[in-house]
């Protein structure tokens, strides 16, 4: 099959990625882009230390140990998630926190999504005080008056 130039070879209908806002382990709000499967939902909002525990629990330290402390937290979580999905496809069950996962479509517990706060009305910029005492934008004539 010949691919059209400039077109992605990824079937966008097959993969749907959602952006979820979660409160992370450090208490701060974070945005996470996931595919929404059981592995992604169970790992949502995990700190790097929690991801390291998941790696160790599932016997992936030999495979992923060299990435710990080198990759960003998101990269480490992505690498661990990919390795865990591979284990599931090979027929193994995996453990993430309190969840024992046997299928990618099963229900899991993990961080809960936090809805985005509604946007309020736009704030008007504050008027600046000009040398003449009038409020508003400085004009060429007021700039000359300052000189």
Domain ranges of the chain: 18-101
How far, in Å, are 21, 33, 47, 81, 121 from residue 94 at the CA level?
25, 22, 18, 11, 47
CA dihedral for 38, 40, 43, 44, sign (positive or negative): negative
Parallel/antiparallel/unpaired status of strands 29-34 and 99-101: unpaired
- What does the alpha-carbon distance between residue 95 and residue 93 come to, in Å, rounded to a whole number? 7
pTM: 0.61
55-114 confidence digits (pLDDT tens): 999 999 898 888 888 888 888 888 999 999 999 999 999 999 888 999 888 888 765 555
């Amino acid at each position: 099959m010949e691919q059209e130039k400039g077109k992605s070879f990824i079937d966008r209908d097959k993969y749907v990625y959602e952006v979820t806002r979660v409160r992370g382990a450090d208490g701060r709000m974070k945005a996470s882009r996931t595919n929404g499967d059981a592995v992604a939902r169970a790992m949502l909002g995990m700190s790097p230390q929690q991801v390291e525990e998941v790696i160790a629990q599932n016997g992936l330290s030999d495979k992923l140990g060299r990435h710990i402390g080198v990759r960003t937290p998101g990269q480490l979580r992505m690498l661990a998630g990919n390795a865990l999905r591979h284990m599931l496809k090979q027929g193994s069950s995996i453990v993430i926190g309190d969840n024992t996962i046997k299928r990618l479509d099963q229900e899991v517990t993990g961080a809960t999504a936090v809805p985005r706060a509604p946007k309020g009305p736009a704030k008007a910029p504050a008027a600046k005080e000009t040398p003449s005492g009038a409020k508003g934008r400085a004009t060429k004539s007021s700039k000359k008056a300052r000189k």
